[in-house]
């Protein structure tokens, strides 16, 4: 298990532990400040801080220290972990006050508006209070699952975000071009910005036909983490378990059912790699 689960999961994954959705977490003033920031106009300042921290993480020598500090402070702020489709469904069943808001990462990075972030807990009430003129769509768990399923088909991975661990507040459907968390990890080396998920994709070579009738291997096309390599001589793919985030997009899109998700902890070489 990851250290988030060790500290906050009981015997479950931290985001599947019903206790972590309790309102008692709202008594924490620091958490409330984060919730106000990420829900209200403070989000711009919040993203600005993340960008500044990230830039410093690239400076030679000093960058190592900045990354260490970043990894230390992120769990006390706002970030998350990749989850597979099945866990994403379980999260919306555990959460209450589901609502869709436009994705702030897409707005910030690409200037586009897209309602793909499922928010829950106190966010709805806070958003209505802080941004009364902005659009908010209240949804049922089934509508949330439909959005997650459609996003999965579109090639968006799912990530559960906390407002100070272990309190989950958002299930986002994102892509590597837009996602601030992805950039924190991949562009600037702050791993806690986006933790790997609990599974890895494993190939059943007997079932893979190299997407013979497709223009390109579909799993390769949909993997946003660089974990899949194409062996053109043997016309087969290989999955690098070290690089796999367990998002499951390759599983969804493989027409042959050749990839399954298996628990990270069953593979000694990667079980501590989050
Ligand atoms: S190999 Fe599959 S499960 Fe792993 S990161 Fe790529 S798409 Fe996701
Ligand atoms: S999508 Fe499935 S069949 Fe196609 S290359 Fe990947 S594993 Fe093989």
pLDDT band at 134 (very low <50, low <70, confident <90, very high): confident
Give the number of the ligand closest to the Cα of residue 198. Answer: 1
Q: Provide the pLDDT for residue 57.
A: 75
Nearest CA to ligand 2 atom 3: 208
Whether the CB of 195 sits within 6 Å of ligand 2:
no
Domain membership of residue 273 (yes or no) is no
Query: Between the CA of residue 27 and those of 22, 32, 106, 204, what are the distances in Å?
Result: 10, 8, 31, 49
Mean pLDDT over 133-161 rounds to: 96
pLDDT at 6 over 70: yes
Pair 211, 255 in one domain:
yes
Give tens-digit pLDDT for 29-70: 999 999 999 998 766 766 677 777 777 777 777 788 888 988
**Domain span including residue 94:** 3-195
Spatial distance between the Cα atoms of 191 and 272, rounded to a whole number of angstroms: 13
Are 157 and 174 contacting, i.e. CB atoms less than 8 angstroms apart?
A: yes
Pair 172, 113 in one domain:
yes
Pair 47, 94 in one domain:
yes
pLDDT band at 135 (very low <50, low <70, confident <90, very high): confident
Pair 81, 94 in one domain:
yes
Domain membership of residue 123 (yes or no) is yes
Pair 233, 124 in one domain:
no
Nearest to 98 by CA among 79, 128, 122: 122
Give tens-digit pLDDT for 50-61: 777 777 777 777
Q: Provide the pLDDT for residue 257.
A: 98
Give the number of the ligand closest to the Cα of residue 250. Answer: 1
**Which CATH number fits the domain that encloses residue 205?**
3.30.70.20
The sign of the torsion formed by the CA atoms of 13, 77, 114, 245 equals negative
Spatial distance between the Cα atoms of 130 and 127, rounded to a whole number of angstroms: 5
Whether the CB of 258 sits within 6 Å of ligand 1:
no
Spatial distance between the Cα atoms of 230 and 116, rounded to a whole number of angstroms: 31
Whether the CB of 172 sits within 6 Å of ligand 1:
no
Whether the CB of 239 sits within 6 Å of ligand 2:
no
Whether the CB of 34 sits within 6 Å of ligand 2:
no
Bridge-based pairing of strands 99-101 and 117-119 is antiparallel
Q: Provide the pLDDT for residue 42.
A: 64
pLDDT band at 1 (very low <50, low <70, confident <90, very high): confident
Give tens-digit pLDDT for 169-209: 999 999 999 998 998 899 888 999 999 999 999 999 999 99
Q: Could you tell me the two tokens for 247?
A: 């998002």
Give tens-digit pLDDT for 227-249: 999 998 888 999 999 999 999 99
Spatial distance between the Cα atoms of 61 and 41, rounded to a whole number of angstroms: 34
Pair 27, 159 in one domain:
yes
Which uninterrupted H or E stretch holds 137?
A: strand 137-138
Pair 81, 206 in one domain:
no
Spatial distance between the Cα atoms of 274 and 87, rounded to a whole number of angstroms: 17
Give the distance (Å) from ligand 1 centre to CA of residue 260.
10
Pair 219, 93 in one domain:
no
Give the distance (Å) from ligand 2 centre to CA of residue 254.
5
Q: Provide the pLDDT for residue 46.
A: 67
30 burial class (0-12, 13-18, 19+ CB within 10 angstroms)?
exposed
Whether the CB of 208 sits within 6 Å of ligand 2:
yes
Radius of gyration of the chain (CA): 19
Give the number of the ligand closest to the Cα of residue 240. Answer: 1
Instruction: Please identify, among 195, 216, 238, the residue that sits at the C-terminal boundary of a domain.
Output: 195
Give the distance (Å) from ligand 2 centre to CA of residue 238.
10
Pair 27, 162 in one domain:
yes
Domain membership of residue 274 (yes or no) is no
Whether the CB of 251 sits within 6 Å of ligand 2:
no
Instruction: Please identify, among 195, 213, 247, the residue that sits at the C-terminal boundary of a domain.
Output: 195
Q: What is the pTM of this model?
A: 0.93
Whether the CB of 258 sits within 6 Å of ligand 2:
yes
Nearest CA to ligand 1 atom 4: 244
Give tens-digit pLDDT for 72-114: 988 999 999 999 999 999 999 999 999 999 898 888 888 888 9
Q: Residue 217 CA: which ligand 2 atom is closest? A: 5
Give the distance (Å) from ligand 2 centre to CA of residue 78.
35
3-state SS class at 102: coil
Nearest CA to ligand 1 atom 6: 223
Domain membership of residue 176 (yes or no) is yes
Give the distance (Å) from ligand 1 centre to CA of residue 273.
15
CA 13-15-19 angle, to 5 degrees, is 95
Instruction: Please identify, among 195, 212, 245, the residue that sits at the C-terminal boundary of a domain.
Output: 195
Domain membership of residue 64 (yes or no) is yes
Q: Provide the pLDDT for residue 52.
A: 75
pLDDT at 17 over 90: yes
CA 197-201-204 angle, to 5 degrees, is 165
Domain membership of residue 247 (yes or no) is yes
Nearest CA to ligand 2 atom 6: 219
Pair 99, 233 in one domain:
no
Place of tokens 């690409």: 110
3-state SS class at 158: strand
């Amino acid at each position: 298990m990851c250290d988030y689960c060790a500290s906050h999961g009981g015997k479950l994954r931290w985001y599947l532990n019903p206790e972590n959705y309790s309102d008692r977490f709202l008594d924490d003033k620091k958490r409330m400040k984060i919730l106000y920031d990420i829900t209200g106009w403070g989000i711009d300042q919040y993203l600005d801080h993340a960008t500044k921290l990230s830039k410093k993480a690239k400076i030679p020598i000093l960058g190592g220290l900045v990354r260490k500090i970043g990894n230390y402070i992120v769990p006390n702020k706002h970030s998350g972990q990749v989850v597979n489709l099945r866990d994403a469904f379980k999260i919306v069943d555990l959460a209450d006050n589901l609502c869709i808001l436009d994705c702030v990462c897409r707005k910030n990075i690409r200037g586009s508006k897209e309602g793909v972030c499922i928010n829950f807990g106190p966010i709805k009430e806070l958003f209505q209070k802080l941004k009364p003129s902005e659009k908010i769509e209240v949804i049922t768990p089934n509508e949330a699952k439909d959005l997650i399923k459609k996003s999965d088909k579109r090639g968006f991975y799912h990530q559960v975000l906390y407002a100070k661990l272990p309190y989950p507040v958002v299930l986002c459907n994102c892509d590597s071009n837009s996602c601030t968390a992805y950039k924190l990890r991949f562009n600037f080396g702050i791993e806690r910005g986006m933790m790997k998920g609990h599974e890895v994709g494993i190939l059943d070579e007997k079932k893979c036909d190299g997407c013979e009738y497709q223009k390109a291997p579909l799993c390769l096309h949909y993997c946003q983490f660089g974990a899949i390599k194409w062996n053109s001589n043997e016309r087969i793919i290989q999955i690098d378990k070290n690089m796999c985030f367990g998002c499951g997009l390759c599983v969804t899109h493989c027409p042959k059912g050749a990839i399954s998700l298996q628990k990270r902890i069953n593979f000694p070489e990667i079980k501590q790699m989050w």
